[in-house]
Amino acid sequence: MLERLGGLVLGLLAWVGDVALFGARALYASVVPPYEFKEIWRQVFEVGWRSFPLVALSGFAVGVVLSMHTRASLERFGAEAMIPAGLAIALVRETGPLTAGLLVAGRVGAGIGAELGAMKVTEQIDALEAVAVDSFKFLAVTRILACIIALPLLTTVMDFAGILGGYVAEASISGMSPQLYLHRAFSLVEFSDFVPATLKTAVFGFIVGTVASYLGFTTSRGTEGVGRASTSSVVLASVCIIVVNVVLVKLIFFMFPDRT
C-alpha cells in the first residue's frame, strides 16, 4: 500500500518535472530566433478573440449573481451603497482572474490538447519536422505565448463584463444610474488591485498552454489517446491554476503589503 502510494507520488513528481521542463524549454525557445510572429498572432486570435464571447457572457452572469449575493448580505447592515464597490473589488481581485483562467483552461486547453494530440497520432508533427520546421516552436511555443498574451486581456473583459452584469442587476432592483454605479464601483478599486491580479493570469495562460501542449505532444494510443489528452488538459490545467493561484495571491500580498 505504502509502496504503491510512494510510486504514485514519484510518478506525479516526475510528471510535474517533465511539464516544468517543457515549459522552461518553451520560454527559452520563445526568445531565440527565428520568431514565429505570424503564427503567434494567429494563435492569439484563436485563443483570445474566439474565447471573447464565452468570457464576456460568463463575466456578465457572474456579475449578476455576485450582485444578488452582495445585496443579500449588505442589505442586512443597511450598506447597499457598498454593493458596487464590493462587487468590483471581488471581481477585479479574484473572481475575474480565476474564472477567466478556468474558462480558458476548459475551452482552449481542451482544444490545444486535442489538436496537438491528433497531429501527433496522424504524424502531422513529424511531417512538420520533415519539411524542416521546428514543430516545438511552431506548435507549442506559439500556443503557450498566445495563452500568456490573451489571458490578461480576457480577464479585463471578464472584469468589465462582470461590472456591467452587476449594474444591470442593481439597476433592475434599485434603479441606480450608470454614472453613480460606476462612481461607487471604482471608488475603492486601486491600481494595485487591478494590475497584479490581472497580470497573474499570464501565469495561468502559461500553465494552460504548457500543460495542454505537453499532453498533446506526448499523446499515444490513437484516438483514445487524443480524447485523454483533451480531458487531461482541462483537468490538470484547472487544478494547477487553482493551486498556483494560492501562491500567487500570497506573493501579491507580499509585494503589495498596503493592499487589504
Is 132 a binding residue for other proteins by CB under 8 A? The answer is yes
What phi and psi, each to the nearest 5 degrees, are found at residue 123?
A: 65, 15
In the complex, minimum distance from the CB of residue 119 to other proteins, in angstroms, rounded to a whole number: 8
127 lines the binding site for other proteins (CB under 8 A): yes
Cell of 238: 484547472
- Please report how close the Cβ of residue 31 comes to other proteins at its closest, in angstroms: 15
Rounded CA-CA distance 92/194 in Å is 6
Which run of H or E residues covers position 160? Answer: helix 142-174
Could you say whether residue 30 binds other proteins (CB under 8 A)?
A: no
CB of 128 to other proteins, least distance (A): 8
Question: Of 10, 79, 81, 130, which lies in the binding site for other proteins, with binding defined by CB under 8 A?
Answer: 130
The rounded distance, in Å, linking the Cα atoms of 93 and 41 is 28
Whole-number Å distance between alpha carbons of 182 and 180: 6
Q: Candidates 15-23, 131-139, 162-170, 230-238: pick the segment binding other proteins (CB under 8 A).
A: 131-139
Q: Does 24 bind other proteins (CB under 8 A)?
A: no
The reply on whether position 123 binds other proteins by CB under 8 A is yes
Residue 90 CB: number of other CB atoms within 10 A? 18
224 near other proteins, judged by CB under 8 A: no
C-alpha to C-alpha distance for 196 and 159, rounded to whole angstroms? 14
31 binds other proteins (CB under 8 A): no
